[in-house]
Amino acid sequence: MAAPFIWRHRVAFGDCDPARIAYTGRLADFALDALDAFWDDLLDGKGWYHMNVHQGFGMPFVHMEYDFTAPVRPGEILECRVWPEAVGKSSVALIVEGWQTGRDCFAARFVSVFADLAHMRKMPVSAAIRGALEARFPGLSSNAAPMARRPDGVRPFSIAARDRG
């Protein structure tokens, strides 16, 4: 597979919390900013903003997950590497991995569904977007829908059996 897209950010004082490492909420932002930059780069500036404002569709998230393995430290560059895991009929899964100075800090996975903003209905991945993904990532899997759920069909956590008081 092709080399991933790389996004860089100097971790600031204001990105850190009273534990004196980057705040978890800011790590979520970093991965999202890396994805935003990935799409603008892949689609020649026609990423999230252009889709939503000028093209009448968006790609809202249906799922995201993060595994954290090392703290992200202030004053250093965080590098996020982005690449697609799979593209389905109307959805796409991407991986973002964050690291500093050669060690992995976190890995995250995102599933988005393309949606027509006028009718708020899911829509097929456009030929232009599928083509751009496949051109840059030749080995990209496209014969299975990215999943927000476990293969066994069970939601990753149960929200059925609790008292909503």
| Interactions with its own copies, residue window 3-62 (CB under 8 A) | 3-4, 6, 10, 12-14, 16-21, 23-25, 28-29, 32-33, 36-37, 40, 45, 47-50, 52-53, 58, 60-62
Shortest gap between Cβ of 161 and its own copies (angstroms)?
A: 8
Strand, coil or helix: what is 26? helix
| Interactions with its own copies, residue window 102-161 (CB under 8 A) | 107, 109, 117, 148, 150, 155-157, 159, 161
Whichever of 37 and 129 has its CB closer to its own copies, that residue is 37
Q: Which residue has the tokens 């004053």?
A: 75
Q: How many CB atoms lie within 10 A of CB 140?
A: 18
Question: What is d(CA 62, CA 50) in angstroms, rounded to the nearest whole number?
Answer: 20
* 83 binding its own copies? (CB under 8 A): yes
Q: How many CB atoms lie within 10 A of CB 14?
A: 9
Whichever of 1 and 128 has its CB closer to its own copies, that residue is 1
CA–CA distances in Å: residue 135 to residues 2, 21, 29, 82: 10, 38, 28, 15
CA–CA distances in Å: residue 81 to residues 7, 25, 143: 7, 19, 24
- Residue 62 CA to chain centroid, in angstroms? 11
Shortest gap between Cβ of 163 and its own copies (angstroms)?
A: 6
Binding site for its own copies (CB under 8 A): 1-4, 6, 10, 12-14, 16-21, 23-25, 28-29, 32-33, 36-37, 40, 45, 47-50, 52-53, 58, 60-69, 71, 74-75, 81, 83, 85, 95, 97, 107, 109, 117, 148, 150, 155-157, 159, 161-165
